[in-house]
Amino acid sequence: MAPQKHRKICVMGSRAVGKSTITMQFVESHCPDSYHPTIENTYQKIIRHQGQEYSVEIIDTAGQDEYSILQKQYSIGIHGYILVYSVTSVSSLEVIKVLNDKILSSLGAETIPRVLVGNKSDLDNERNISRDQGTQLANEWECAFVECSGKNNENVEEVFKQILNEVNKGLTGPDPPQKEGCILM
Ligand SMILES: Nc1nc2c(ncn2[C@@H]2O[C@H](COP(=O)(O)OP(=O)(O)OP(=O)(O)O)[C@@H](O)[C@H]2O)c(=O)[nH]1
């Protein structure tokens, strides 16, 4: 069997869009009992995807706004980003656009593995961002797009499958060996 691959994924977006809910649904198959703003939580899950075993490390970050500074630990050693907005909140999508720019500029890259996620798809009556708007933005960014409901556990697994696919697309050839030790900056 092919050796296990490690993937470090960062979940980002503005406050209360459902980052923790999506992450906990995926890792622990339940959602938080009540809303507690996150400072930072790291989760680990072993999954099989397309015949390969992955050890997925997921960093659930604190809610960001347009003015938040992108912390170094969210730009170094991250394989891919799950960028979450709420389909009910136009401002949460605006934050994602700013965040996307910050990530790309901090990495000095034109592209990086990302999945754009429109969460709270169950709140159809409160929807302010159409599926088409999300699809269009993801096409522009050349990244994957998923709408999901963390609360109802709809399409949550798809978010994580898509980020693994996006990371794999960006990695040609075998993964570099994983070394212990420090990184010189
Ligand atoms: N209706 C609905 N509510 C959701 C969904 N996902 C999360 N929520 C609710 O939205 C609120 C915020 O959810 P969290 O998962 O804590 O959001 P977060 O983005 O991690 O929040 P911060 O830690 O403040 O950044 C909670 O009350 C959740 O129950 C969803 O898919 N549908």
Cα(137) to centroid of ligand 1, in Å? 22
At 143 the three-state DSSP class reads: coil
CA distance 89 to 123: 11
Cα(143) to centroid of ligand 1, in Å? 23
Residue 170, pLDDT score: 80
Helix 90-107 / helix 131-141 crossing angle, nearest 10 deg: 10
Residue 184, pLDDT score: 46
The one-character DSSP state at 84 is E
Supply the pTM of this predicted model. Answer: 0.93
Contact 27, 45 (CB under 8 A): yes
Residues at CB less than 6 angstroms from ligand 1: 15-21, 32, 35, 37-38, 62-63, 119-120, 122-123, 149-151
Q: Nearest 10 degrees: CA dihedral of 105, 106, 107, 113?
A: -80
Residue 179, pLDDT score: 47
Cα(36) to centroid of ligand 1, in Å? 9
Residue type (1 letter), 41:
N
Residue 21, pLDDT score: 97
Residue 146: C-alpha distances to residues 35, 114, 127, 151 (Å):
23, 11, 15, 15
CA-nearest residue for atom 12, ligand 1, is 16
Cα(92) to centroid of ligand 1, in Å? 12
At 47 the three-state DSSP class reads: strand
CA distance 87 to 16: 12
Which residue of 20, 126, 153 sits with most ligand 1 atoms within 8 Å of its CB, as the best mutation to test the pocket?
20
Cα(120) to centroid of ligand 1, in Å? 8
Residue 155, pLDDT score: 98
Read off the pLDDT of residues 94-104 as tens digits, 9 standing for 90 and up: 999 999 999 99
Digit-by-digit pLDDT tens for the chain (185 residues) are: 689 999 999 999 999 999 999 999 999 999 888 888 989 999 999 999 999 999 999 999 999 999 988 888 898 899 999 999 999 999 999 999 999 999 999 998 888 999 999 999 999 999 999 999 999 999 999 999 999 999 999 999 999 999 999 999 987 655 655 544 444 44
Residue 174, pLDDT score: 55
Cα(182) to centroid of ligand 1, in Å? 35
Q: What number is the ipTM of this complex?
A: 0.99
Q: Which atom of ligand 1 is nearest to the CA of 84?
A: 19
Contact 143, 102 (CB under 8 A): no
What is the bridge-based pairing of β-strands 52-61 and 5-13?
parallel
